[in-house]
Amino acid sequence: MAIGVICGLFAALISTMGGLSLGYQTTSAVAMGVPMAIAGGGYCVLLALGWFQIGTVGPMAAYWAVCFPLARLIHEVAMATTFDYDTILREPLWSFLLFQAMLSVGFAIGFLWLHERLMPRWLLRIEVHNPFATALLDRYSAHANTMLRRKEERTANKEKPSSRS
Amino acid sequence: MPIRKMPKAPPSIHLLGPTMFLVALGVGMGESYMWPRLVLLFGPEIRWLFLVGVSLQAVVMLEMSRYVMATGESIFMGAARVFKPAMWFFFITAMLVYIWPGHLSAGAAAFENVTGIPWQGTAITGMILVGVVFTLAKVIYNLLENVLSLLIGVLVVGTSIVAAIVGSFADVLTTITGMFAFGYMPDEALTAAWFPVIVGSIAFAGPSGMQQMWYTLHLRDKQAGMGAHIPQIRGLVNAGEQETMPSRGFMFDTEDPEEMEKWKGWRKWVTFDAIVLFWGITMLVTISFTVIAQASVRIDSNVANVIREGEQDAALQAMAGAFAAAGSPLLGTVFFLFIALIGLNATLGLFDSFSRGQADMTYYFVPGAQRFSLSKLYAMFLWGVIAFGILILLFGPADGPAGILDTLAFLSTFAMGAYCIVLLLVNNLMLPKKIRPGIVSNAIIAFGAVFYLGALLYSLFAFGVVVS
């Protein structure tokens, strides 16, 4: 969810620097940021429920291949409605959705990249009053323990050089 | 080489590995600026050369990893084992190529367009900041991985969103089909004005110059394969904790089936890095940039003429203007911000890599250098390159960011042809037979040597120039 909010803030910041009107900035930021935030939050919930494994690309890319085009569609409809555009989309709906789904792969990789870096820190802050966060944090801890075990194995191997050395 | 046990490989499906460096360095000026510019001039069909360039680099990456993961030694050490002057050649080449602060200058110039802050000031501040951060780091690799992850994440998410807003299905379709228009070469591309630029752009498709060689040092610091037996480099403030580096690498027992299984695990791990992360991410980002470029030219068809007539700085401005025309004024700003971000990314990666590579060669091959720890040598080269960069920006002959980038592009192509030859020699002469590369990999690397050096020589002899 936080990354969705960041997307909205990102859009607003860029709009500001680009010299666009306050109304355009706000509409674009909300229309883009809210659906993305909901989709990002949904991903976290599904992750906590165990539908997704931590750090895996495939299922998460499939998830965004659906959510990203939907978020963009909502964005286009909101902008067209607010500013009274003649047409909502510049191209047929099927090609619009297909195009967005193709670009969603890049977004999904970037999302996961940021998510894996930011999420554990955020969970530590909210775990006190959020059972989902606690469950997810436990999974991250288990993941970290596995990594630690691998590191210990490496160290143990390092300390036992072969007799052929 | 002494025999030691190889550690087990982590699962191959992961997202945060040493490839981060190659992605950070690879997704640079080539992908964001040089190739979109060529698309604006010659159409998306010119991208078949990009596909060849990036695919070649993915194979180079796989082969570069072979020696370091088998021995824990960098490719420079491997080169010295084959022929010591080859190693010194790269030591000198690195000094000639990477002391020029080209990427940061280009990024700072883009930042100036958005904020009005003079590019020299931003570039100098950026360099000092990079130096301070790396000096204070406990383990430099960990810090760099964290910072680059965030920067690349923002870049990938940002370009995808912008492309999704301004592009169309037709744009992405022509971008992808253009990559398979093998042999397409319009007459204008074969002129003295543009062929050298195309050669430089091919070198800049993915990580250019010596970045692939430095990747071997990052693999070692990531403790990949036999690199697990070599200590990690620490920042200068923590140099006192630096463990003594062994005088040579280690080898695993290739006759032991269990060890060979682990080796296969590591090869799988690095193959995922090369194909999915490096090749995939580079391709995705450049597709997004090309989609944006095509959207812009649809609105402002004059941009190609401006690029034809103008200098490189003018081209950068024209592209930003066209991006703005494609959607709204914010797109021009976005374009400049991305270029600034890429400049910072590249600087972080390049300064670290340069210092790492030079320190490694100095530590092992300069008599008396081992009285300093590797961390101290790293810091010396880091602050050396920063000091030189500041002097060049303030008093040097640098002809602006574009001029520095041109120099880098030419020297990079030369270094890449040379490292392909070294790679063939090291992997086929220094490794046990069981873990040497196959005939297909060797043939591709040999093709790389001919491709880079051939294009450079053709450019030199046919047009009398190597880069515009």
Q: A164, B160: Cβ pair inside 8 Å? A: no
From CA A32, how far away is CA A3, in angstroms rounded?
12
B7 assigned to some structural domain: no
Q: B172, A103: Cβ pair inside 8 Å? A: yes
B228: nearest CA in chain A?
A: A154
From CA B2, how far away is CA A161, in angstroms rounded?
9
First to last CA, chain A: 53
Please give the average pLDDT of every successive group of 10 residues along chain B, which has 468 residues. 74 56 66 78 88 90 89 87 88 81 74 79 84 74 70 78 83 88 86 81 78 84 75 61 64 83 85 80 83 75 69 61 60 73 76 86 84 84 88 67 59 85 92 88 92 85 61
Q: B114, A17: Cβ pair inside 8 Å? A: yes
Query: How would residue A48 be classed by pLDDT, with cut points 50, 70 and 90?
Result: confident
Section A57-72 average pLDDT: 88
Which residues of chain B neighbour A14 with C-beta distances below 8 Å?
330, 333-334, 337
Total of domains in chain B: 1
What's the helix, strand, coil split of chain A in %, to 5?
80, 0, 20
Section A151-156 average pLDDT: 61
| Structural domain boundaries, residue B172 | 18-463
Q: B328, A18: Cβ pair inside 8 Å? A: yes
Comparing CA positions, the residue from B157, B194, B168 lying closest to residue B39 is: B194
What are the pLDDT digits (tens) for A76-133? Answer: 898 888 888 888 788 889 999 999 998 888 888 888 877 777 777 777 776 667 766 6
| Interface test with chain A among B156, B226, B243, B334, by most A beta carbons within 10 Å | B156
From CA B46, how far away is CA B187, in angstroms rounded?
12
Question: Locate tokens 């037709």: which residue?
Answer: B170
Structure tokens at B181: 């228009």
From CA B89, how far away is CA A60, in angstroms rounded?
46
A76: nearest CA in chain B?
A: B165
Which residues of chain A neighbour B228 with C-beta distances below 8 Å?
154, 157-158
B110 assigned to some structural domain: yes
ipTM: 0.78
B378, containing H or E segment? helix B374-395
At B21 the three-state DSSP class reads: helix
* Cα–Cα distances in angstroms (integers) from residue A70 to residues A28, A73, B300, in the given order: 15, 5, 29
From CA B99, how far away is CA B104, in angstroms rounded?
12
Q: B5, A18: Cβ pair inside 8 Å? A: no
From CA B375, how far away is CA B409, in angstroms rounded?
30
At A14 the three-state DSSP class reads: helix
From CA B146, how far away is CA B139, in angstroms rounded?
11
Looking at residue A150, what is its pLDDT?
A: 62
Looking at residue A162, what is its pLDDT?
A: 47
Comparing CA positions, the residue from B162, B108, B151, B155 lying closest to residue B323 is: B162
First to last CA, chain B: 47
B9 assigned to some structural domain: no
Comparing CA positions, the residue from A30, A11, A46, A37 lying closest to residue A111 is: A37
Q: A114, B154: Cβ pair inside 8 Å? A: yes
B162 assigned to some structural domain: yes
Looking at residue B468, what is its pLDDT?
A: 42
B2 assigned to some structural domain: no
The radius of gyration of chain B from alpha carbons, rounded to an integer in Å, stands at: 22
Domain ranges of chain A: 2-155
B4 assigned to some structural domain: no
User: Any idea how long chain A is?
Assistant: 165
CB A146 within 8 A of CB B325: no
Find the CB nearest B157 among A7, A90, A99.
Answer: A7
Section A61-77 average pLDDT: 91
List Cβ<8 Å contacts ≥24 apart for A22-28: A23/A82, A24/A83, A27/A78, A27/A79, A27/A82, A27/A83, A28/A75, A28/A79
Find the CB nearest A14 among B14, B167, B330.
Answer: B330
Can you list the positions of beta strands (E) in B70-115? none
Q: Which amino acid is at B242?
A: Q
Give one word for A56, left, alpha or beta, with left for phi > 0 and alpha for psi -120 to 50. Answer: beta
Q: A165, B4: Cβ pair inside 8 Å? A: yes
Query: How would residue A32 be classed by pLDDT, with cut points 50, 70 and 90?
Result: confident
Q: A106, B284: Cβ pair inside 8 Å? A: yes
From CA B219, how far away is CA B74, in angstroms rounded?
9
At B28 the three-state DSSP class reads: coil
From CA A165, how far away is CA B333, in angstroms rounded?
59
Say which CATH number the domain at B389 has.
1.20.1740.10
DSSP string across B202-234: HHTSSS-TTHHHHHHHHHHHTT-GGGGGSPPPB
Find the CB nearest B5 among A104, A107, A157.
Answer: A157
User: Between helices A93-126 and B169-178, what is the axis angle to 10°?
Assistant: 90
Q: Give how far A12 is from chain B: nearest CA, Å.
A: 10
B77 assigned to some structural domain: yes
Does the structure show a pLDDT above 90 at A70? yes
B10 assigned to some structural domain: no
Query: How would residue A146 be classed by pLDDT, with cut points 50, 70 and 90?
Result: low
At B186 the three-state DSSP class reads: coil
Does the structure show a pLDDT above 50 at A163? no
User: Any idea how long chain B is?
Assistant: 468
Q: A18, B330: Cβ pair inside 8 Å? A: yes
